[in-house]
Amino acid sequence: MDDRKLLETIRPLIGTAETADDCSMYKLPNGQILVASTDMLHETTDFPDGMTEFEMGWMSVAVTLSDIASTGASPAQVFVAVGLDRPERLVPFMEGAVCCAETYGAVVAGGDIDSHQELTAVTTAFGIVDSAVHCRRCGATVGDLVCITGIPGRAQAALDGRAEYRQFLLTPKPQVEAGIKIAKAGASSMMDVSDGVVISLYDIADASSVGIILDEASFPLFEESAYAKTCFLFGGGDFGLLFTASDAALEKLETEYTVIGRVVCGNSVRMGEEVLPRKGYAHVWEC
Amino acid sequence: MDDRKLLETIRPLIGTAETADDCSMYKLPNGQILVASTDMLHETTDFPDGMTEFEMGWMSVAVTLSDIASTGASPAQVFVAVGLDRPERLVPFMEGAVCCAETYGAVVAGGDIDSHQELTAVTTAFGIVDSAVHCRRCGATVGDLVCITGIPGRAQAALDGRAEYRQFLLTPKPQVEAGIKIAKAGASSMMDVSDGVVISLYDIADASSVGIILDEASFPLFEESAYAKTCFLFGGGDFGLLFTASDAALEKLETEYTVIGRVVCGNSVRMGEEVLPRKGYAHVWEC
């Protein structure tokens, strides 16, 4: 059982629309949309060994701001609930959390402090986006190009021991500015790739009722190797944005990105003729 | 070290205004205010023995909606992040969470699922309130009456083994409707009493730079006993609303409440001549 399967068990309770994106939506009276997201991280499974409290605080906020960024929204407020095994960890943790929030134009506006067996952090953030440019997972249209920002795979490589990429794992950078530009240019769908590129492409394909075909030769890899390609496709922890857009939209887009494929009819994610497995990062229970 | 003292260590980081209330504020373009709050609960310290998962889910949402209620806001969306030791606990937990949210007009709009050593839940909620009636802890004015809804103390009595009051402990009812009416009538300050009546009165007194004098004879007690009075003053877990209001505001107020004292000059909370100790519920670390 993993967290994606578990989510299926409560979809009827929460609603399909409410569980279809990383961010919720709430229509504001002036035609803007408030988007919000929440993420739970805890020490034994989410924070790599040797991380400082500052880095844990930064990462806790960054994962949620990355969700906000994937809608094209500007982050506004962040809430940080932290369960602490030792109270002296709070100040450096919150220094990292506040630093990350402020770097991306958000404010830590509240939180909760609890005692806990292990350091556990839940961040919730909301942001504001004009409804005309708001991006979701659905919306990808046959003929659109599939694009990605950054060089996914480096966080996975760092997890595997490649010290030169540790900064990408420990202090990931949510692509807030890129997300705003991509949405304004008129992308048809967007999400972040923190669970892995292929599994995120399946999320877009499922939500949009389309297939995706990837062009292997175009992948932005951190090095030319089969290992780097595997990290790119299936590694977790990176904060690139995956989006689909028409040629016309891409002409207006002024941010760095790589075209890695296109949207086709179907329901699978392929690389040439090969249907890629639906796998990426997941929380797993042994049962 | 307790969580209130620990909060002091990060006030310079977060800001005094941001840590002065249970809810944050965010001004919306139409003059309304978005209020939000987040709470972390976990099994070993927050959920009484014998609680069902449904009750845990209900309580997790209720504590946060109680914060929203204390501003006079209507709850809108709730986010539920849950760390699970056993995945089969998710469905009944979420049934309780959704039931509580829907009971008070809110929607569970998102969340996160994680594996964890013990069941840990963080709920974040936001609500909307007109800025003209938005209530905070500050605002209490000398001459105002001090009022409370409900009969605080029963949750503490249930914790002490009084089975007849268990419902008040296990499925507490956030006072959403009362909060809206109290704010609309023009209360000068409001907060919920989930940490205890006296400690909450100190929060209002501190934020408003006033003192409070209580009239012992007026307390709404669950029984006539010294024990019930202690539970009323210092017990935690109840969801009444504590508010201050002028006579003129109270004349307009159509909800049940009890006047328990008045706002005076000073900086203490007294019962007759006795200065009451600043104590209530707190998370404590042994250090």
DSSP labels, B204-230: HHHHHT-EEEE-GGG---SSSSHHHHH
Which chain A residue is nearest to residue B95, measuring alpha carbons? Answer: A13
- Cβ-defined contact of B28 to A24 (cutoff 8 Å): no
pLDDT band at A133 (very low <50, low <70, confident <90, very high): very high
Phi, psi angles (nearest 5°) of residue B134? -55, 125
- Cβ-defined contact of A115 to B30 (cutoff 8 Å): no
Among B13, B88, B122, B137, which would you mutate to test the A interface (most chain A Cβ atoms within 10 Å of its Cβ)? B122
Q: Is residue B62 within 8 Å of residue B239, measured between CB atoms?
A: yes
Structure tokens at A4: 């994606």
| Chain B nearest CA to A276, separation (Å) | 25
Provide the ipTM.
Answer: 0.90
pLDDT exceeds cutoff 60 at A166: yes
Of A29, A107, A110, the CB nearest to B37: A110
- Cβ-defined contact of A13 to B94 (cutoff 8 Å): yes
Residue A133 half-sphere exposure toward CB, CA atoms < 13 A: 17
| Chain A nearest CA to B5, separation (Å) | 10
The mean predicted confidence, pLDDT, of chain A is 92
Cβ contacts of A45 on chain B, cutoff 8 Å: 114-115
Q: What is the pLDDT of residue A91?
A: 95
Q: What is the pLDDT of residue B103?
A: 97
Cβ contacts of B82 on chain A, cutoff 8 Å: 40
- Cβ-defined contact of A79 to B24 (cutoff 8 Å): yes
- Cβ-defined contact of A13 to B95 (cutoff 8 Å): yes
Closest by CA to A115, choosing from B17, B52, B281, B238, is B281
User: Which of the residues in chain B have pLDDT under 50?
Assistant: 287
- Cβ-defined contact of A110 to B42 (cutoff 8 Å): no
Which chain B residue is nearest to residue A64, measuring alpha carbons? Answer: B112
- Cβ-defined contact of A86 to B287 (cutoff 8 Å): yes
Of A77, A87, A120, the CB nearest to B120: A120
Q: Is residue B190 within 8 Å of residue B72, measured between CB atoms?
A: yes
- Cβ-defined contact of B13 to A79 (cutoff 8 Å): no
- Cβ-defined contact of B40 to A81 (cutoff 8 Å): yes
Among B9, B10, B88, B128, which would you mutate to test the A interface (most chain A Cβ atoms within 10 Å of its Cβ)? B10
What is the secondary structure of A56-67 as a DSSP string?
HHHHHHHHHHHH
Cβ contacts of A94 on chain B, cutoff 8 Å: 10, 13-14
Number of H helices, E strands in chain B: 10, 12
CA separation (Å) from B26 to A28, B18, B127, B220, B259?
Answer: 13, 11, 10, 35, 31
Cβ contacts of A7 on chain B, cutoff 8 Å: 113
pLDDT band at A162 (very low <50, low <70, confident <90, very high): very high
| Span A40-61, pLDDT tens digits | 998 988 888 889 999 999 999 9
Residue type, A13: L
Q: What is the pLDDT of residue A287?
A: 42
* Parallel, antiparallel or unpaired: strands A74-84 and A120-130: antiparallel
Of A1, A114, A126, the CB nearest to B42: A114
Structure tokens at B39: 């709470």
CB pairs under 8 A between A and B: 199
CB atoms within 10 A of CB B229: 16
Counting beta carbons within 10 angstroms of the beta carbon of residue A241, is it exposed (0 to 12), middle (13 to 18) or buried (19 or more)?
Answer: buried
Q: Is residue A18 within 8 Å of residue B109, measured between CB atoms?
A: yes
Q: What is the pLDDT of residue A17?
A: 67
Q: What is the pLDDT of residue B287?
A: 42
Which chain B residue is nearest to residue A102, measuring alpha carbons? Answer: B14
| Chain A nearest CA to B35, separation (Å) | 10
CA separation (Å) from A270 to A1, A205, A260, A286, B169?
Answer: 25, 11, 12, 30, 54
Residues 6+ away with beta carbon under 8 Å from A102: none
Cβ contacts of B29 on chain A, cutoff 8 Å: 28-30, 32
Distance CA A165, CA A5 (A): 31
Q: What is the pLDDT of residue B17?
A: 67
Which chain B residue is nearest to residue A92, measuring alpha carbons? Answer: B10
- Cβ-defined contact of A122 to B40 (cutoff 8 Å): yes
Which chain B residue is nearest to residue A9, measuring alpha carbons? Answer: B91
Which chain A residue is nearest to residue B4, measuring alpha carbons? Answer: A113
Residues 6+ away with beta carbon under 8 Å from B164: none
